[in-house]
Amino acid sequence: MNKVKSYDVSGKHEGDVSLPSVFDTPFRPDLIKKAVLAEQANQRQPYGSDPLAGKKTSAHYHGSRHYRFSMMNKGISRMPRIHGKVGYMALRGRFAPHAVKGRPAHPPKVEKIWSQKINAKEKTFAIMSALAASSNMELVKKRGHKVSESPVIFNDGIEKIKKSKEAVSAFSKIFSDEINRCSVKKVKAGISKMRGRRYTVKKGPLVIVSGKCDLMKSAKNIMGFDVVPVESLSAEKLAPGTHAGRAVIISQAALKKIEARYC
């Protein structure tokens, strides 16, 4: 078993802790990607346009050749037009997809199925593989993390921290460069600025706790950090964007739960 350092709340080295056998799981980027994409797909909300969009019009097509109101030989394209109007609305094209205010040609439909299925064993193995990848420093640094070790184990006192300031103080002893890296916010280019996704924020370490605790509220305000209990571990949390090797911080109680759950 691999051994890693254990720290107290003040960031002092307490001793060494043996990692469970789940951290020896083979690296399977294909399964991790499959699990992450399935999770993202199942979170999508179906959307679509109004089935009657562009169709609420009196426009219709006069197609007969020998007919009083025929469109033939008039020098205008034969398409649904508004009839019986005087002025700028007379013979205005409507309804057709290429007309102004016409119906959409191939609109998104709410009946489209976005969800994807994945086998339970594949999903579990993907989480185990992503956990093991978090202890591979080559993969961790490839993700851009500025850390010297991963996973980092803290004693159970870390779960009792109630203030974000105290959480930052505890993590900064080991993750000072990582906190500085995640504190940089960039403004996106383009129309996404108007749609609720104005900034890009880097993904920092994932904090794994044993269950509902004070740290879940205090650490979630640290930019780039995510806090999750062992029961809610997912491939997407461990491998954002399908790229495994996210640095993790684990409490000793959470480490025991991981061993009981995945070993």
Q: What is the DSSP string of 37-96?
A: HHHHHHTPPP----TTTTT-S--B----SSSTT--TTSSS--S-B--S--STTTT-B-SS
- The pTM assigned to this predicted structure is 0.85
**What is the pLDDT at residue 11?**
85
| pLDDT beyond 60 at 58 | yes
Q: How far is CA 120 from CA 39, 117, 126, 256, in A?
A: 12, 9, 10, 22
DSSP β-bridge partners for residue 15:
6
Q: What is the mean pLDDT of residues 27-37?
A: 97
Identify which of 161, 136, 107 has the alpha carbon closest to the alpha carbon of residue 247: 136
Identify which of 261, 245, 220, 9 has the alpha carbon closest to the alpha carbon of residue 150: 245
Q: In the chain, which segments carry CATH 3.40.1370.10?
A: 3-19+118-262
For 22-31, 55-64, 196-205, which range has the lowest pLDDT when averaged over its residues?
A: 55-64
| pLDDT beyond 90 at 73 | no
| pLDDT beyond 90 at 65 | no
- Average pLDDT of the chain is 92
Q: What is the mean pLDDT of residues 135-158?
A: 93
Query: Tokens for 129?
Result: 């593989």
**What is the pLDDT at residue 67?**
74
Share of the chain above pLDDT 70, in %: 100
Dmax (CA) for the chain in angstroms is: 97
Placement of tokens 């109007």 in the chain = 85
| pLDDT beyond 80 at 171 | yes
pLDDT, tens digit (0-9, with 9 covering 90-100), for 206-259 = 999 999 999 999 998 899 999 999 999 999 999 999 999 999 999 999 999 999
**What is the pLDDT at residue 110?**
92
Residue 97's contacts (CB-CB under 8 Å, 6 or more residues apart) are 54, 103, 104, 105
**What is the pLDDT at residue 262?**
92
pLDDT, tens digit (0-9, with 9 covering 90-100), for 90-130 = 889 999 999 999 999 999 999 999 999 999 999 999 999 99
Half-sphere exposure of 61 (CA within 13 A, CB side): 9
Which 8-state DSSP code applies to residue 164? Answer: H
**What is the pLDDT at residue 1?**
56
| pLDDT beyond 70 at 134 | yes
| pLDDT beyond 70 at 12 | yes
**What is the pLDDT at residue 50?**
94
**What is the pLDDT at residue 147?**
92
**What is the pLDDT at residue 108?**
95
**What is the pLDDT at residue 85?**
85
Domain range 3-19+118-262, CATH architecture: 3-Layer(aba) Sandwich (3.40)
**What is the pLDDT at residue 77?**
87
pLDDT interval class at 141 (50, 70, 90): very high
